[in-house]
Structures are given as C-alpha cells and as structure tokens.
Structure 1
Amino acid sequence: MPIPEDVTGYEIDKDVQQELQSLPKGLAEDVAKNLVMVARLIDEDPEGAYGYSRVALRLASRVAAVREAAGFAAYANQKYNEALAEFRAARRMTGNVELWPVMADCERGLGRPEKALDMAGAPDVNKLDKAGQVEMRLVAAGARRDMGQLDAAIVTLQSPELASNSVQPWTARLRYAYADALLAAGREDEAREWFAKAVESDKDGSTDASDRLAELDGVEFVDAFDDSDDSDDEGAPSAAGLDTEDDEDDEDEEDDEDDEVRDAK
C-alpha cells in the first residue's frame, strides 16, 4: 500500500522504535511507516488502517508492537476473533497485562459475555493501572447489559472513580456509561443528571453526551442552512402563487367586460 511522502516512520512512539531496532534498518523503516499509517487512520478510516496493519504484520510478525497494532486495527473493524488472536500473541511476547480489558471486550464482541465477566474477576485485573481497571469495569458492565442484567450493570459502574469530582481521561466515558445504563433501566431523571455530568467532563467530545442530554430535554435541532426545495415551499408564498392570484383577477375583469359587450348588443 502507498505511504504518503510526509510519513517518515519516526512519528511512532520511542518504545516502538526501540522494538523495531531488532530488524534490519530498511525493513524497520518500512514497518514503522506502516504503523504510523495505522495510527493515523484507525479512527477515521478503520479499513485503511487494517490494510496497513496487515502489511506491517507480513513484514514483522515477531514484533509485539506490530501484533498489538494489528489487533487494534482488527478490533476497529469488528474482526473480534482476529483481534483477540493478535492481542494474545502480543501479550505472550511481552507479558504485559494492559491488553486485558480489550481482550475481554473482544469476548463480548464474539457473543461470550460470560467469558468477559470471568476475565473481569481474574487476578490480572489487579495488575492493571487505574485507567485499565476503569476500562475493565466498563467492559464488565457492558457484559452485564449483554446478558440483560441492567441493575447489575449499574452496580458494576458504581465506584470511587464514578463518585470522584476530579476529571480524569476516563471520567466522561464512565459517567456516560452509567447514565446510559440508568436510562436503559427506566431511571430517566437520574440518567439526565449523569449525562449532564458527562458533558461537564467531556472536554474533547469523546462521547455524544450533549446530544443525549438534549434528547432527554426534548430539544430539537433545526438546520438553519437547509436550502432544500421542501423548506422553500413551506416558508414564504412562492412567486408562482402570487402570479396565480393576479391572473385570476385579470380573468374576472375580462369576464366583466365580455358581459358588458353582450348587454350592449
């Protein structure tokens, strides 16, 4: 796949660059460039990112960072079985537990929420940092919802991190998930409160909490720049309509003149 000229390969994380040093220089540069493209496209063009990840995987399948990138690209394309295999390979290579939550979420994607819950209770969770533990909690709550256990999902999300007033990178998503679970359980007033809290903490727009809040408040957004034909027809009277009325008046005047001519005869 073509690589844009502005991509050098040095844009990737230094730790990944260090991993690639085990490869011949030319090969390392090619792999690095493909990994840059994966990171660049994964949000806006998941299919494109997946293509670049497959190239990197073909070039350097024994590099953990490559397997991890391939896993995330597959995950973004909902190829959960493939993603899980790549994450497991990366974990075997590094012994790192950071991928544990996303591996559990792959189990959810494969229709195995019970397996995700088992992973949420595994000793590996205790080795995760705070962000990883919050992510695991989100996955576990999602698994509960998959199983129709709405009340259990709500309880799963109730935590010191949720109650904290400090805003962390995970705060908006945690509050949003809690609000969504409350709404699914029919607790609309509480859901509105937590969607509002999610909006307060969502500085980078990572959720659609503001839209959900507006929906609960019954706010409808109208496109002020909509220039469709329908909007024109429903607005001011058309020129054709005005001309029609004038024509009708002219026709009435002509009929009156004809009547006068006939009377004179």
Structure 2
Amino acid sequence: MKINKIAVAFLSLCMFGLGAAAAIEVNEPELRSVGRTVEFTNYTGPHSVIETADAITEIGRGLGRQVARNVNTSGTFGLNGKYAVIHAVDPSTKEKLDADIILINPNATVDHIRNLRRIIAGYLTAAYGYSNADATTVATFVTVYNAVYRGNLDVYKSKYKDVVTRNLNAANCGLSTTWSEWPGKSQIIIPLYDLNGGLSTVDTSVISDKNVVDNLRDQDDMGIDDRKKLVDIKEREAEDASEKAEAAAKAAEAERQKLAQQQQDANKAQ
C-alpha cells in the first residue's frame, strides 16, 4: 500500500538522520584526533574601509534573494560584482547532488573567515529561509568542508551532478585557508539535498563527514560548540521529516477514500 511505502520511506529518512547526527555527536572528554588541521589565515593589517557586520551579511542576502525567485532553475548571479553564485541544479536526475557554488571574484575584498561566513550565512537565510543562527552554523561547516577538500576535484565529481562539476576546476575548487588566495581562486561548494526542504536544503551529512569533523576536533576548542549546534539542526530535521511523513500519509488516505467513493458511485451508475 502507498501508506506503507510512505512509512518505510520515513523510517529510512529518520535512520539516516539519526546516523548522521551520531557521526558528529559531541563527546567532550574525547582525545584530539591526529591529522591536518584546517587553520584559516586572516589579514591582520589596517583597513581603509571598515564595513559593518550587517553590511557584509547583506552581500550574501542579495545573492540569495535572486536565487530564491526560482530555486528549481539553474542560474548564475553576480558575475559583474565582487561575489557571485552559480545555482547549479538539475531536476531531471536524482543521482548525486545539486549545489550552489559561491565565487569570490578577483575584485573582492573579504579577508577574514568570519566575514566570509557572514556572507555565506546571509545567502542561506535569503535563499532558503534558514534562521540567522542555523545559517551561521551551516556556514562554518561549509567553509571547513571546502578547505578540507580544496583542489580535490575527484571528490566533488563523485558526489555532485554534472551540472555542478562542469563549473569546477582542480585549481580553484573548494576554499584556500589563506585569505590572499581567495579572490579569483575560490569555488565554495554548498551541497543541496532538498531545494524546498527548509532545514534539509543543505546536505548537512556531506559538510560534516568524518574528515571535516576530525579537523574540527583538532582545533583548540575541538569545535564542540559548532558540532553541538549542528546536532541540534539534525534533530530538528528529523522532527520536520516526521511531520511531513504524517501529512503525506493523511493525504494518501484521503485520496484512497476519494477513489473508493468514486468507484462506488461508478458501480451504482451502471
């Protein structure tokens, strides 16, 4: 029955969500992992222009509002500005992932990872409706994910659709850990799971894979606060999935009853 299929799909989604959350569950006494740590190098000299945090976030919001007009259609926005986004989606295939690719153009002036994350967070709030807090958490993981896989085109090709990877190159894919290498040399990939999925729009399992989490664990604070926040997002994703599955089951039952009544009416008319 259709209802049983919905229930099975929901249980599978919940198991997936819980498994992904468990992968980043925080155990505060854990030992630091051994391996390369992503450490971003920021500009520390004087600035001729100092922008407010809100003005920086608005850069991302501006790009996000353009994408939000039609999230199901590919497009490129902002190429003539300092920052751009390639919204690379292909609804015709469900294999692999869609993605947004944020470009830092050669004339861009962002020079601190905190401000780059503000731009990404602003983008997520305007394009997909994330809250400021959730967008900030996701933006943090997006930057670490892109730094971990900087220049590893094969990794991106294994996960993303052709509509995404044809816009990438081995020299620039991902994000350098050095601010001076960002302008004109960055292709920041945001994996998209469900274009209309609210909290599930960005694939949080991809941006929090083992290599990303290992790098966060190797930071001085072990990334505990950020990891806790992402666990919270994943738990709310599972709750949303439960509500959607329940609504789908009710709609399926209503349709079944409607069809049964129509069949009865047709039989009486004969």
TM norm structure 2: 0.32
Larger C-alpha radius of gyration, 1 or 2?
A: 1
Q: Which has the higher strand share?
A: 2
TM norm structure 1: 0.32
* Higher RCO (C-alpha 8 Å, min separation 6): 2
